[in-house]
Chains A and B, each alone.
Chain A
Amino acid sequence: MVSAARRILDRVPRPEDFTSAVHDERVVARVGVWFGAAIVILFVTGLVSHLHQNPVWWLPFGPEPAWAYRVTQGLHVAAGFACVPLLLAKLYAVYPRLFVRPVVTGWRHGLERASVGLLVAATVFQVVTGVLNVFQLYVFGFGFTRVHYATSWIVFGAVLVHVGVQLPAVVRGLASGGDLSGSGVRGGHAVPRGGTVPQGGADDVGPRGSDEAQTTRRGFLGAVAVATLTLTALTLGQTWRPLRPVALLAPRDPEAGPQGLAVNKTARGAGVVEAATDPGWALELVGPGGAVRLSRDDLLALDQHEAVLPIACVEGWSATARWGGVRVRDLAALAGGRPDDPVHVQSLQARGSYRESDLPGAYVAHEDTLLALRLDGEDLALDHGFPARIIAPNRPGVLQTKWVARLVVGGAA
């Protein structure tokens, strides 16, 4: 039994068997810095999105600037896509380290390896499920948002531990041969200049200390850069219009949908077709002054305003449109509240995590925060939230509640 296991282990490659200069410490350090920068962007922009949807009193977001969420979430998804080549390249460069012998030398080495395992598992998880999620492939068996949020802390913590442990190697890797020339070190082990090179490695491409090795290192880093930029160029068009013609791999075309605007959740998908098209629909407006019911005609008879605002989906696509409707602060006043009272919004949707949303006071007070009735001069399409929807500046799309049934002003019951 033991000898069988030993025989198998003997057939597993060792780090020395990987002789390509791709696994050089200098390559690892550079790809690591790029990947680390992407992770910092992802963590910060992800927190912004989380705090929009789960506000805390000590860090409130306001409606200005209107484009902020569009930029942070567009950046989040773009950085996520960029992580596909960066993660693959990073893991490939350090792949030989998976095979170090002995497997574990002591408790410290064991902990370090465990932390790397956790780091790899968590980053692969975030990138894979994140990409699937923006393509709306909800195949996980768990709710994406909460798990993505919890895993982001694990990634960030594991990255800090990893950088702390590997910092000397990073410094060495970045310092030795800023031009990536000359002989050097790899995978944490110094290789003597002109030292012996193991023969017949799995991905052997020849002597390390040579021009050839330098070509390999530069070529690999160049390819990583090209892959990252190409993927970004082919996906960013879903939020940045100039790149829309080449958005071949973008999950969404933000202009494909009714009234030239994409839709995430259709009226059919939300199960509201009947309720939303009922001619007897009326908005229930509840406030300190009591409750009133306003039909669509009643709403259209109130002061109408137009606002040019982006709709920015958590899944990274965004598009600007011209919305028309009643200012929410006017409705708050009509219900006997103040124009900066928070407003709770309820949809006709019976189920779903996004059937309700809250507009903080600062949002209610903003002149562009509307109960929208019209889109680009026409009645709202059913899939855009007819008969009425919320649209406000600097707000995730999932909080721009559609098919509004009820507004509750200032915490009134």
Chain B
Amino acid sequence: MNGGEVAGGGVPGWVRVTLVTAGLVVLAFGAWTALTWVPARWWAPWALWLAGGVAVHDGVLAPLIVVLGWVVLGRVRSPRLREVLRGIVLVLGTLALVALVAVWAGAR
């Protein structure tokens, strides 16, 4: 990544290069920590949870919300009402997710 090339939005190239380089160094430290600090028998379940989280979000949760928006919000004429409905789904959906975990914890 050349400092002169990465212009954009008035951001000096060196700022971006510094951020990306620092990020790569931190990532390398993370990888080293993963290899030396985390026992090898935990790597597989760790990877499974990493991949599983993305899969559940991108493949289930997000499409569900997109379809919900398409089915419901597409039929609402008033923009205000649409935003209120979207807000309700966002707020109650978030609280419901945490409440679900609380119920699960309570059941154990």
Contacts and interface: CB of A to CB of B under 8 A. Distances in A.
A358 interface: no
> Considering residues B30, B69, B99, which has the most beta carbons from chain A within 10 angstroms of its beta carbon?
B30
B8 interface: yes
A220 B86 CA distance: 7
Contact of A206 (B45, B51, B57, B79): B79
Interface string B9-36: 1110001111110111111111101100
Nearest to B76: A205
B24 A157 contact: yes
A153 B53 contact: no
A234 B16 contact: no
A84 B57 CA distance: 12
B27 A230 contact: no
A202 B66 contact: yes
Contact of B90 (A152, A153, A203, A224): A224
A142 interface: yes
A234 B28 CA distance: 37
A191 interface: no
Contacts of A141: 42, 45, 48
Contacts of A215: 79-80, 83
Contact of A171 (B9, B42, B48, B80): B9
Given A230-B91, A231-B98, A158 B27 contact: yes
A304 interface: no
A131 B73 contact: no
Contacts of A222: 83, 87
Contact of A204 (B74, B79, B99): B74
A271 B51 CA distance: 36
B79 A216 contact: yes
A157 B31 CA distance: 10
A137 B67 contact: no
A205 B86 CA distance: 11
Contacts of B11: 167-168, 171
Contacts of A137: 101, 104-105, 108
Interface stretch (A115-123, A279-287, A331-339): A115-123
Given A140-B45, A141-B45, A231 B94 contact: yes
Contacts of A147: 38, 42, 46
Contacts of A161: 19-20, 23-24, 27
B62 A95 contact: yes
A223 B87 contact: yes
Interface string A149-189: 11111101111111111011111100100000000000000
B19 A164 contact: yes
Interface string A11-32: 0000000101010000000000
Nearest to A171: B9
A190 to B, nearest CB: 12
A151 B33 CA distance: 9
B54 A169 contact: no
Contacts of B73: 203, 205
Contacts of B99: 249
A164 B23 contact: yes
Interface string A120-143: 111011001101100111001111
Interface string B68-108: 01100110000110111011001101110111011011001
Nearest to B48: A141
Given A140-B49, A142-B42, A219-B83, A150 B33 contact: yes
A171 B15 CA distance: 13
A6 interface: no
16 contacts: A20-B69, A88-B90, A137-B108, A149-B33, A158-B27, A159-B23, A163-B23, A167-B8, A202-B70, A204-B70, A215-B79, A219-B82, A230-B91, A231-B94, A234-B95, A249-B98
Given A131-B98, A216-B79, A222-B83, 16 more contacts: A143-B39, A146-B42, A153-B27, A160-B20, A160-B23, A164-B22, A169-B8, A203-B66, A203-B73, A204-B70, A218-B83, A220-B83, A230-B95, A235-B98, A249-B102, A251-B102
